Amino acid sequence: MLMLEPLFACNLACEGCGRIREYAAMAHRQMPLEECLHAARECDAPVVSVCGGEPLLYRDLDRLVSGLLLQKRFIYLCTNGLLIPRWLDRLPRTKRLVWNVHLDGMETTHDAITGRPGTFREVTRAIRLAKEAGMRVTTNTTIYASMDMHEVIVLMEYLTELGVDGMLLSPAYSYECLQPATTSLPAAAGAVPFTPEGCAAKENDCATPLAPVEQRTKDTAIAREQSLFLTRSQVAEKFQSIKTELRRFRLINSPLYLDFLMGLRDLPCAAWASPTRNVCGWKSPCYLITDGHFATFREWQEKTPWQRLGPGRDPRCENCLVHYGFETGAVFAAQKSLRDSLSLAIWQFGR
Ligand code: SF4
């Protein structure tokens, strides 16, 4: 899966979101359309997750979607959902396009995390509209340290009533920029090192400056946000507490990845199977950690030091259970075991 981030600007400033903070200096820049389409051709991943930032703020979104569909990609539009009504009539109804809407709890919780009262109502209204318009809609819910797991079940029951096509649960992951002390490795040879002031990639001459996002005071936000994230054992405890209930819902998480989240099995990190491309280039090593950016996909693939990454190898990976790294790891693990392959096949065809 290609994680394509055509821009970093967002119309919200949610707690726990590292992107809008890590790349704040580049919030005004957007990748030109042709660069986005070229990135998809370059890595040739069957699935493109268009994220950011808020992708529905991307000026050429309709042309990007048609271009990716022409390339026969399967597209996930990862959005906070607020701008869905603006794009509903401008994007095609096809099974290859999925609106993946972020919802982090019921009304009080979600509005508190987004920092904007009324967000939950707006988003759930947008989901309803998208479903009525015949679109495919899935949701993505981040499980933070303070999350009451009973509320997660209530949320999933509500989303099932709304008719969503699938739900993803992911443990909150601490972006490197939200950790107290970052221990970045030197950028690999050929990569442009990353600094808080921005990447050294060329200025985007077709970028339209967007209104700066409203940001909470940085220090307070970082201190608060450090307390949002979970250790490996806390994640296991939270997911085990709802293990039996989860069977009732249309989960996007594979059974292998769920077992991994519950601490019942191990999986390898396969971050190399989910490259991230943004305005700075190919982000190395992965979606969460930024040591630098490469100009080409091939350089990213060949020069990122994969053997030095993953839990037990790099301290920054210690509590990482992110689905970009380990859901893909589940696919590779399944290839080595008939039982796991069967389990994945039953999950895949039983949905
Ligand atoms: S475990 Fe993999 S996905 Fe997670 S931070 Fe490390 S390299 Fe990135």
Token digits of residue 237: 């405890």
- Map tokens 């982000």 to a residue: 283
| In the chain, domain spans | 2-199+223-349
Tens digit of each residue's pLDDT (9 = 90 or more) over 13-66: 888 787 878 888 889 999 999 999 999 999 999 999 999 899 999 999 999 999
User: Of 90, 202, 197, whose CA–CA distance to 135 is shortest?
Assistant: 90
**Nearest-CA neighbor of 76 among 22, 124, 104, 40?**
40
DSSP class of residue 161? Answer: H
Q: Which residue has the higher pLDDT, 209 or 303?
A: 303
Q: Which of 296, 294, 322 is nearest to 309 (CA)?
A: 322
pLDDT given for residue 302 in this prediction: 96
Whether 253 shows a pLDDT value over 70: the answer reads yes
CA–centroid distance, 205 to ligand 1, in Å, is 33
Q: Quote the mean pLDDT of the chain.
A: 87
Tokens encoding 154: 């209530």
Question: For residue range 187-229, what is the model confidence (pLDDT) as tens digits?
Answer: 666 777 766 566 654 443 323 333 334 444 455 555 555 567 8
Q: How confident is the model at residue 179 (pLDDT cuts 50, 70, 90)?
A: low
pLDDT confidence of residue 146: 87
pLDDT at 210: 32
Look up residue 122 and give its two tokens.
């707006």
> Does 2-199+223-349 carry CATH code 3.80.30.10?
yes
Q: Is residue 286 in contact with ligand 1, taking CB distance under 6 Å?
A: yes
Which residue is associated with the tokens 């077709």? Answer: 206
Asked whether the bond before 268 is cis by omega within 30 degrees of 0, the reply is no
Question: Strand locations in 188-275, DSSP E?
Answer: 192-193
235: helix, coil or strand?
A: helix
What is the Cα–Cα distance from 296 to 43, expressed in whole angstroms? 9
| Closest CA relative to residue 178, chosen from 214, 227, 212 | 227
Q: Whose CA is nearest to atom 3 of ligand 1?
A: 325
Ligand 1 centroid vs 320 CA: distance in angstroms?
Answer: 6
Phi, psi of 224 (to 5 degrees): -65, -40
